[in-house]
Chain A
Amino acid sequence: MKHKAEYRVGVGASSILMILVVLALTALSLLSLKAAQNNAVLTDRNLTMTVAYYQAAADVQRTIAAIDEQSHQLDLLRIEDRAALRAALANYAHPVSLDDDLVFAFTVDAGADRVIIVEGNLVLGDTARVTISRHELRVTDSFSDQRTLNVFLP
């Protein structure tokens, strides 16, 4: 007499299912933790770069104020005063160049290989005034595949 094979779900099946569920949840939780950490790293990087930019922009305003103040005290129609101003500007924390047409230029480091380039000119009148013609944030080095952004590293 031939016995018919009997299949039924035992305890082993539910145990395996439970292990699989635990493994799946573990993987999901670790992935979500990693995603959150990467998000935090990107936020911090964005924060650092933004703060560095605004500090550089503040330095630009301080330098412009100093240039205006310095040129205000001098008579720029006189050659000697122009030379004195040129010498003073070259000694600033962010050295300023001044040409014969009273066009000045300087750069301020804005962090993360960026600089703010500022150009302008002194307008002669009753008092010398500062006019800004360029205020540009520029990346100093060109892109290369050696410097890719790795979002998985802090």
Chain B
Amino acid sequence: MRNHKGNMLLVELTIVLLFFAVSQAIILQVFVKAQEINRDATLRNNALLKIEDTAEMLAASQDAATTLLSLGFVLDEEVYTFHSLDGFQINAALTRLTQPAGVLTSVELAAYQGEKMLFSLPALQYRGGNST
């Protein structure tokens, strides 16, 4: 009788431990998912901050190419590239449209996470020919 009771206790404990283990596995996955979502959001935020910073610096600059280089961009096959330690990359394509009255400088800034493009925004600056 005592032996039978001991076996029942063992079975009960095993079931409880199994239930606990399965629950923890599911809960752990939820925590990991939450962490991934947060990490992606943080990365997008950091990329946005860097791109905004670059766009504002370009808006105030006299020479877009020099400004990009001073901000840590590297010229690689006609595209300026910035590699962040946070895991994103920013590409800046610079074009100049010269017209008789002035110069329209256009920089297309695009943020990438690996091969995946996160977002892009334009930074344009017009400078008149002999006054601003």
Chain A interface residues (CB < 8 Å from chain B): 11, 14-15, 18, 21-22, 25-26, 29-30, 32-33, 35-37, 39-40, 43-44, 46-47, 50-51, 54-55, 57-58, 61-62, 64-65, 68-69, 71-73, 123, 127, 129-131
Contact of B44 with A47 in the complex, beta carbons under 8 Å? yes
Contact of A29 with B27 in the complex, beta carbons under 8 Å? yes
Contact of B121 with A35 in the complex, beta carbons under 8 Å? no
| B68-126 CB contacts (< 8 Å) to partner A | 97, 99-102, 104, 106, 119-126
A7 to B131, CA, bound (A): 94
Nearest chain B CB to A70's CB is how many angstroms away? 9
Known: A25-B24, A65-B104, A68-B102. A33 touches B30 (CB 8 A): yes
Chain B interface helix/strand/loop/mixed = helix
Q: What are the residues of chain B within 8 A of A129 when measuring CB–CB?
A: 128, 130-131
A11 to B102, CA, bound (A): 85
Nearest chain A CB to B93's CB is how many angstroms away? 14
The digit string for B33-67, where 1 denotes a CB below 8 A from any CB of A, is 11101101100110010001001000100000000
Nearest chain B CB to A131's CB is how many angstroms away? 8
Contact of A35 with B48 in the complex, beta carbons under 8 Å? no
Contact of A61 with B125 in the complex, beta carbons under 8 Å? yes
State how many residues of chain B have any CB contact under 8 Å with chain A: 44
Contact of A29 with B30 in the complex, beta carbons under 8 Å? yes
A152 to B100, CA, bound (A): 52
| Residue of B19, B27, B99, B101 ringed by the most chain A CB atoms within 10 A | B101
| Residue of B13, B124, B130 ringed by the most chain A CB atoms within 10 A | B124
Known: A61-B104, A65-B104, A68-B128. A39 touches B121 (CB 8 A): no
Contact of A11 with B13 in the complex, beta carbons under 8 Å? yes
Contact of B24 with A15 in the complex, beta carbons under 8 Å? no
Contact of A65 with B99 in the complex, beta carbons under 8 Å? yes
Q: What are the residues of chain B within 8 A of A35 when measuring CB–CB?
A: 34
Nearest chain B CB to A58's CB is how many angstroms away? 4
A71 to B102, CA, bound (A): 12
Q: What are the residues of chain B within 8 A of A30 when measuring CB–CB?
A: 30
